[in-house]
Structure 1
Amino acid sequence: MKNTVKKIMWITGILFIFLLVLATNLIDRDHIKGIRGSVSTMYKDRLIVKNLIYNISNLTQEKRIAFLLSDSNFYSTKNAAINDSIYTLIDKFSKTQLTSNETHYLERLYNNFKDVEILENQSLNNKDILQDKEWRNTMETKLLRLRNNLNYLSDIQINEGKRELARVNRAFNTIDLFTNIEIAFLVLIGIITLLIVLYPTKQEKQ
């Protein structure tokens, strides 16, 4: 009788540990799914932002070509639509998940772009200003700053993507390690449980 009670206690204890490890394992798997989902979202955000930067760069390049050619027709017919497109892209950028560094350079991009727009609008009232040396030097500086802002923002996407992937990979490796240990522990407990159940004690044999 005592041996039977003892056996029941052993089995109950082992089953409790079994369920505890199983629950932990399931939780770990949920964490893995959550991390993968976060990484997927982050990756998509980075790709979207990279595409926004690419589109802004193309539009600002059109501005630079018009500036180099002193194309007054561009400023009077196309420039306003391009400016609207750039503002829309910057607004979409601002609504993504930004780091403090991104916020800083995005604000600088916006401010420099406003300065470029002001200079461009001056050409609408005075086409001769396109040949003015001071105006051209100022515009050249502002366009260069725009390009630098976009390059910085592009570099941030690459660095942040690498950092996030490295962090998540470390988390994956840790979770996978514990998952394997837990599975091995479950197998061991299962074997012990079978031994207790299938092989009676000496007193029970007598």
Structure 2
Amino acid sequence: MSLINKIKWILGILMVFILIISTNLIDRKNFQRVRDSVVSIYEDRLLAKEIIFNISNILHEKEIALVEYDTAYFSIINSQKNKELNSELEKFKKTKLTKKEERVFNDLQTDLSSIIELEKNIDTKDFKDNKNLNDKIKIANQHLKQLSEIQITEGNRQLSISQKAVRNVELYTQIEIYILIFLAVIIQIIIMYQPKND
């Protein structure tokens, strides 16, 4: 094999190698986007949704106890439920929050602090006098509903990011196949070409 043929082979193989490396790097970036998006959907949206559900259930129990004038709830169970509320809030703080979500979450924390403070002064003898507590629970529920809606919106946004990344991977894979076929044809032409000797 002559020196020119060896150079042709080396250039041909080098072109294929560079193409494969470059598309691999692009694919890796897109797969990382998909992975990050899926992790975000799980950690920051589904877990947050579960936390919102748990807080909502605790508030619902408090509402029922107020309506039923349940003195046992407020004297025995309520302190444990408040600890659970604080635990759920700490979990929620660890999720990745958007600016709007952070604002609504801060409002919710303020509501829950007010609820706990009002419960300290609850008059278990005259439950009818606890309208402020009931109103605060309703406001907290509205903030929970807003947070729940944000989870859906952000989950959809993350899903859209992952779908776009998957489409990019598919597009680059198709382009890579066409370029590889084109390069294979060019390499064959370069290798098979024999200049005429006059």
Instruction: Report the TM-score, using the length of structure 2 for normalisation.
Output: 0.90
Give the AA of the match of 1:20: I
Partner of 1:36: 34
**Residues 49 and 151 in structure 2, CA contact (< 8 A), matched pair in contact too:** yes
Alignment of 1:45-124 (within 5 A): 45=43, 46-123=45-122
Measured after TM superposition, the shift of residue 64 of structure 1 is 0.6
Distance 2:73 2:113 in 1: 18
Give the AA of the match of 2:95: T
**Residues 38 and 159 in structure 2, CA contact (< 8 A), matched pair in contact too:** no
Give the AA of the match of 1:130: F
Determine helix, strand or coil for the equivalent of 1:70: coil
Q: Is 2:180 aligned against 1:183?
A: no
Distance 2:134 2:76 in 1: 21
Q: Does 6-15 or 189-198 show the bigger shift?
A: 6-15
Partner of 2:136: 142
Partner of 1:194: 188
Q: Is 2:150 aligned against 1:156?
A: yes
**Residues 122 and 129 in structure 1, CA contact (< 8 A), matched pair in contact too:** no
Distance 1:25 1:167 in 2: 20
Determine helix, strand or coil for the equivalent of 1:128: coil
Measured after TM superposition, the shift of residue 8 of structure 1 is 4.8
**Residues 28 and 179 in structure 1, CA contact (< 8 A), matched pair in contact too:** no
Distance 1:180 1:85 in 2: 52
Instruction: Report the TM-score, using the length of structure 1 for normalisation.
Output: 0.87
Structure with greater proportional helix content: 1
Distance 1:36 1:168 in 2: 4
Measured after TM superposition, the shift of residue 39 of structure 1 is 1.8
**Residues 34 and 161 in structure 2, CA contact (< 8 A), matched pair in contact too:** no
Measured after TM superposition, the shift of residue 176 of structure 1 is 2.1
**Residues 34 and 165 in structure 2, CA contact (< 8 A), matched pair in contact too:** no
**Residues 53 and 150 in structure 1, CA contact (< 8 A), matched pair in contact too:** yes
Distance 1:36 1:163 in 2: 12
**Residues 32 and 172 in structure 1, CA contact (< 8 A), matched pair in contact too:** yes
Measured after TM superposition, the shift of residue 17 of structure 1 is 2.5
Which residue, 110, 113, 128 being the options, matches 1:131? 128
Which residue, 6, 16, 19 being the options, matches 2:17? 19
* 1:145-172 Cα shifts (integer Å, max 9, x gaps): 1110110010000000111111221232
Q: Which has the higher contact order (CA 8 A, sep 6+)?
A: 2
Distance 1:82 1:34 in 2: 40
Q: Does 193-202 or 72-81 show the bigger shift?
A: 193-202
**What are the ranges of 5 or more consecutive residues in structure 2 without an aligned counterpart?**
none
Alignment of 1:156-175 (within 5 A): 156-175=150-169
* 1:113-146 Cα shifts (integer Å, max 9, x gaps): 11111111112xx4234222xx31x122101111
RMSD: 2.0
